[in-house]
């Protein structure tokens, strides 16, 4: 019962953080666009967010293995409170150094909380319950994305209703409540490795984790190269959508995406069937080319751009949710309980690297192609190339998975 309660506390804290993370991203993006920042200037401020996510995932797994998952979750919540407070205090003087430091703190906070929550699932689910593991990983991942979508909407609404500073203060207060509850309810040592984790263990020696991480890097880069900046800026400036409409649309998309993830065990591994494998991941990754290619082709025709993007994004979201759910399950399934924090940290380091590359290319490709519709098309073309590379990474992953299965059966 204590493990279930602990998981509920960690999940609740992760949910609280996720809402503020989505809201803060939308607040910063829309506010900076409103006061005249160019696309490249905006994404350059997000670089620290993604770069420090890479560093945090690499080192966070080591910290969690040594000191427990409570320490990393607590640190993540605390750093996000500092980031929100900094932005609120400096709302009238949003200098580049201030924004970059706040983004660095927020990126560190995001990956500390994510690594903590996803690692903890391995400690709660019985070792041989693969279907149960798939279920709880999908519920956590899907609910997180749904709440991040809600955060996008909250960010757009709060920016219009309370202003930039007021919104940041409200988020800092909410996170403070979550931090106090987490500190009081969680045991200190949950997730500590039985053996002392050293620097040599930062990089995975498991070929499955390595190839899965490579596939994750490119597939999330493919999403962020057009979703992080090009899409919301084009909706606001190219199609004339209001901030309410942009925030609401992206929120609904991510909520739907999260709902598909949460329900994925029912159709990715139906009743009596085994959970997905590397082969399944390769199929779902390759299928991403279909909606992306269809959107790119339709944008060249004389049809409603709004409808092309809305319908295309719905199809893309469904396929990407299946892909992401399979990814999230496999990294936990491949990991031993004693090394789950280290492996999950390494894996999400690759995820953060993909987001970093995608974020940079989103601003560069969008502006280089002239912004507007041509910029959006350029970003989608880059996205397709990333999907192809991610699909290719699934081939050696499948071979490594087979070797791992043979090693287990012979031991």
> What CATH code is carried by the domain that includes residue 143?
1.20.1250.20
pTM (global) more than 0.85:
no
Task: Please state, in angstroms and rounded to a whole number, the distance separating the CA atoms of residues 70 and 59.
Answer: 15
Question: Does residue 40 belong to any structural domain of this protein?
Answer: yes
d(CA 323, CA 12) in angstroms, rounded, equals 25
- Mean pLDDT (the chain) is 80
Q: What does the pLDDT average to over 19-24?
A: 80
CA distance 19 to 398: 35
Q: How many residues are recorded in the chain?
A: 411
Highest mean pLDDT among 93-102, 148-157, 174-183: 174-183
Indicate whether 193 belongs to any domain.
no
What is the structure's pLDDT at 1? 46
Nearest partner of 390 among 326, 312, 313, judged by Cα: 326
- Residue 411 — very low, low, confident or very high, per pLDDT cuts 50/70/90? very low
- CA dist 64 and 70 (Å) reads 8
Is residue 272 assigned to a domain?
yes
Distances (CA, A) of 62 to 110, 212, 330, 338, 354: 16, 20, 20, 12, 21
Containing structural domain, residue 329 = 2-188+200-410
| Sign of the alpha-carbon dihedral angle for 90, 91, 93, 95 | positive
Q: Helix, strand, coil proportions of the chain in percent (round to 5)?
A: 85, 0, 15
Say whether pLDDT at 33 is over 60. yes
Q: Is residue 239 included in any domain, yes or no?
A: yes
Instruction: Give the count of beta carbons closer than 10 Å to the beta carbon of residue 91.
Output: 17
Number of domains in the chain: 1
Q: How far apart are CA 103 and CA 94, in angstroms?
A: 12
> In which residue are the tokens 């498991």 written?
206
* Cβ-contact 91, 165 below 8 angstroms: yes
CA separation for the pair 241, 252 (Å, rounded): 15
The secondary structure of residue 276, as a DSSP letter, is P
Find, among 67, 71, 84, 104, the residue nearest to 17 by Cα.
Answer: 84
SS3 call for 35: coil
Q: Is residue 294 part of a domain?
A: yes
Q: Is residue 287 a part of any domain in this protein?
A: yes
Give 237 or 408, the one with higher predicted confidence.
Answer: 237
By C-alpha distance, which of 359, 106, 350 is closest to 228?
359
| Mean pLDDT, range 108-116, rounded to an integer | 80
Q: Please enumerate in sequence order all residues whose Cβ is within 8 A of that of 190, keeping only pairs 6 or more positions apart, or say none.
A: 6, 68, 69, 70, 120, 123
Q: For 76-110, write each residue's pLDDT tens digit.
A: 888 889 988 888 876 667 677 787 788 788 878 88
- 5 secondary structure, DSSP code: H
Cα distances (Å, whole numbers) of residue 21 to 208, 251, 370, 408:
30, 13, 30, 40
Q: Is the pLDDT of residue 258 over 70?
A: yes
Question: What integer pLDDT is reported at residue 187 of this predicted model?
Answer: 63
Residue 291 is predicted with a pLDDT of 95
| 109, part of any domain | yes
Distances in whole angstroms, Cα of residue 182 to Cα of each of 41, 59, 226: 37, 22, 36
185-203 tens-digit pLDDT: 766 555 555 555 554 555 5
Per-residue pLDDT, 379: 92
């Amino acid at each position: 019962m204590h493990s279930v309660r602990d998981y509920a506390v960690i999940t609740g804290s992760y949910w609280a953080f996720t809402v503020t993370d989505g809201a803060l991203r939308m607040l910063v993006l829309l506010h900076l666009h409103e006061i005249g920042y160019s696309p490249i200037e905006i994404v350059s401020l997000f670089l620290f967010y993604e770069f420090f996510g890479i560093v945090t995932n690499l080192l966070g797994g080591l910290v969690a293995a040594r000191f427990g998952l409570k320490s990393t979750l607590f640190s993540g919540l605390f750093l996000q409170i500092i980031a929100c407070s900094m932005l609120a205090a400096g709302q009238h003087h949003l200098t580049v150094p201030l924004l970059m430091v706040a983004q660095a703190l927020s990126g560190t906070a995001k990956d500390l909380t994510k690594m903590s929550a996803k690692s903890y699932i391995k400690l709660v689910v019985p070792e041989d319950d693969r279907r149960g593991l798939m279920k709880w990983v999908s519920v956590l991942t899907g609910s997180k994305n749904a709440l991040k979508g809600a955060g996008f909407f909250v960010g757009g609404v709060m920016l219009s209703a309370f202003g930039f500073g007021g919104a940041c203060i409200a988020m800092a207060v909410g996170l403070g409540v979550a931090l106090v509850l987490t500190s009081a309810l969680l045991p200190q040592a949950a997730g500590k490795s039985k053996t002392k984790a050293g620097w040599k263990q930062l990089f995975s020696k498991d070929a499955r984790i390595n190839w899965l991480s490579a596939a994750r890097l490119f597939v999330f880069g493919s999403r962020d190269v057009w979703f992080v900046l090009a899409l919301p800026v084009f909706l606001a400036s190219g199609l004339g959508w209001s901030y309410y409409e942009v925030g609401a649309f992206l929120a609904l998309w991510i909520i739907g995406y999260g709902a598909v993830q949460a329900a994925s065990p029912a159709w990715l591994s139906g009743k009596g069937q085994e959970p997905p494998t590397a082969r399944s991941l390769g199929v779902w990754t390759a299928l991403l080319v279909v909606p992306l290619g269809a959107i790119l082709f339709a944008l060249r025709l004389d049809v409603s751009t709004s409808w092309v993007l809305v319908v295309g994004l719905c199809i893309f979201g469904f396929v990407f949710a299946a892909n992401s759910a399979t990814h999230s399950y496999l990294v936990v399934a491949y990991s031993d309980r004693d090394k789950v924090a280290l492996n999950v940290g390494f894996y999400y380091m690759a995820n953060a690297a993909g987001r970093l590359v995608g974020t940079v290319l989103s601003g560069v490709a969008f502006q280089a192609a002239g912004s507007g519709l041509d910029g959006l098309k350029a970003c989608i073309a880059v996205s397709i190339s990333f999907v192809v590379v991610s699909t290719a990474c699934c081939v050696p992953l499948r071979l490594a998975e087979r070797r791992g299965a043979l090693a287990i059966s012979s031991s």
